[in-house]
Chain A
Amino acid sequence: MKIQHDTPIVVIPAYQEERSVGDLVRSLRERYPYDVLVVNDGSTDRTSESAREAGAIVLDLPCNLGIGGAVQTAFLYARDHGYDAVVRIDGDGQHEVEDIPKVLEPILAGRADAVIGSRFLGETEYRVSIPRIFGIRFFRLLVNLTTGYRVTDPTSGFFAINRSLIEFYSHHYPSDYPEVDAFILMHRLKSRAVEVPVRMYDRAEGKSSITAFRAVYYMVKVTLSYLINRIRRFG
C-alpha cells in the first residue's frame, strides 16, 4: 500500500501541548494543502484529541521517547507513506507558520536535501538569553569547523528534508537534542544543506525542554554524540 504523495507533510512533535497544538494544526490546514502529522510523545493531556479534532494525522506513542524518537516516528511514517518532503516545526507556536513555504522551496526545487530555518539570518526580533547564545555560538563553531557548512542556527528545530534524508533518518536519528547531531550525519551523507531566514517567537505555552540545570548535560551529550557520529559506521 505504498502511495506516492506529491504534497509535503508538516510534522509536529508534541508533548503536553493541548493548549497550542489545536490552533497550530487548524491554521496549517486553513492555509496550506500540506498534510499535517502530529506525533504525540506520550502526553497525558488532550494533545492527541485536540490535534485530531483540528484535522491532523496523529501518531500516539505509548510512552515518552523524547524529541528525537518522536520526530523519527514521523520520518518512519513519511517514508512508509511515500512523502518526498517533510517540514518539522515545534508544537508550541515558536515557529512562524507563514515561513513554511520558504523553508520548503529549496527542497521542492531540488536545490537542497535539507533546509534549516535560521532565526539569526536577515531581520530578527528574536531575543536570546546569554547562556543560550553561548550554547548556540559553541555549536555553531563546532558544526562550522567540522563540516564545512556555514550554519548560523545549528539548534533550530524548524527545518525541511527531502526523500533521501527521510530514508536515512528513519534508520538513524539521534535520540535527544537531535538538531546539532543532524549536521554531522548530513555531512557524512554529503547532503546539500542550506539555511533560510525564519521568524521565531518566545514560547506561547509551556517551558523549553532545556532548563538551566540541564544545559551543561546538553552541551556535553551533544558534543560527545556529535564527535562519535563523525567516526561511527552506518550500516
Chain B
Amino acid sequence: MNRVTIFSICASAGFLLYILEMVRRRKLREEYSILWLAGSVVILVLSIKQDWLVGIAHAAGIAYPPSFLFLVGILFILLILIHFSIAISKLHMMNKKMAQEIALMKNDISARGEDFPKHS
C-alpha cells in the first residue's frame, strides 16, 4: 500500500467515526448525518478497493482515477449543500408562521384585557 492510500483510508475512516460520534452525542441529527455518512463510506470503500476506483474511472472515461475520487467528494458536498438550502427554507417558513402566530396571540391576549409582558 502506498502512502496516499494509507492517508486517504485514515482520513475517510476518521471522518466517518467523527460523524458517528456526533450523532451518538446528539450534536448532529440523524437526518443531517445520512449524506455525510454515505459520502465518507463511498470514499473509504474506493480508497481501500483501488481496483474498483480504477475500473469505475475508466468506465466513466476518466484517465486519472484519483480525480474520480474528487468528483465523488464534490458531488456529495453539492448534495449536502442543496440539502441545507432546503432545510433552511423549511426553517424560514416555520419561523415565519411562528412569528405570525405570536403576533396574533399577543393581540388576542391584550384584547381580552389581560396584561401581557412587553418584549424588551
Spell out A's residues near B (CB within 8 Å).
39, 57-63, 65, 69, 72-73, 76-77, 80, 175
B99 near A65: Cβ-Cβ < 8 Å = yes
17 A-B contacts, Cβ less than 8 Å apart? Answer: A57-B107, A59-B107, A60-B103, A60-B107, A61-B99, A61-B100, A62-B102, A63-B99, A65-B96, A65-B100, A69-B96, A69-B100, A73-B99, A73-B103, A76-B104, A77-B107, A80-B104
Q: Give chain B's interface secondary structure class.
A: helix
B107 near A62: Cβ-Cβ < 8 Å = no
Question: Chain A: which residue is nearest B105 at the CB level?
Answer: A59
Chain B residues with CB below 8 A from A80, complex form = 104
Contact of B106 with A by CB under 8 A: yes
Q: Give chain A's interface secondary structure class.
A: mixed
Total number of B residues with any Cβ neighbor in A under 8 Å: 10
Spell out B's residues near A (CB within 8 Å).
95-96, 99-100, 102-104, 106-107, 119
Complex Cα distance A175/B119, Å?
Answer: 24
Chain A residues with CB below 8 A from B103, complex form = 39, 59-62, 73
Question: Chain B: which residue is nearest A77 at the CB level?
Answer: B104
B107 near A58: Cβ-Cβ < 8 Å = yes
Name the contact of A76 in the complex, choosing from B100, B106, B119 (C-beta under 8 A): B100
Known pairs A65-B96, A65-B99, A76-B100; list 7 more (Cβ under 8 Å). A60-B119, A61-B100, A61-B103, A63-B95, A72-B100, A73-B100, A76-B104
Complex Cα distance A73/B106, Å?
Answer: 13
Chain A residues with CB below 8 A from B99, complex form = 61-63, 65, 69, 73
Complex Cα distance A73/B108, Å?
Answer: 13
CB distance from B76 to the nearest CB of A (A): 27
Complex Cα distance A61/B102, Å?
Answer: 7
Question: Chain B: which residue is nearest A72 at the CB level?
Answer: B100
In the A-B complex, list the 4 residue pairs whose CB atoms are closest, starting with the nearest. Answer: A59-B103, A73-B100, A61-B103, A69-B96
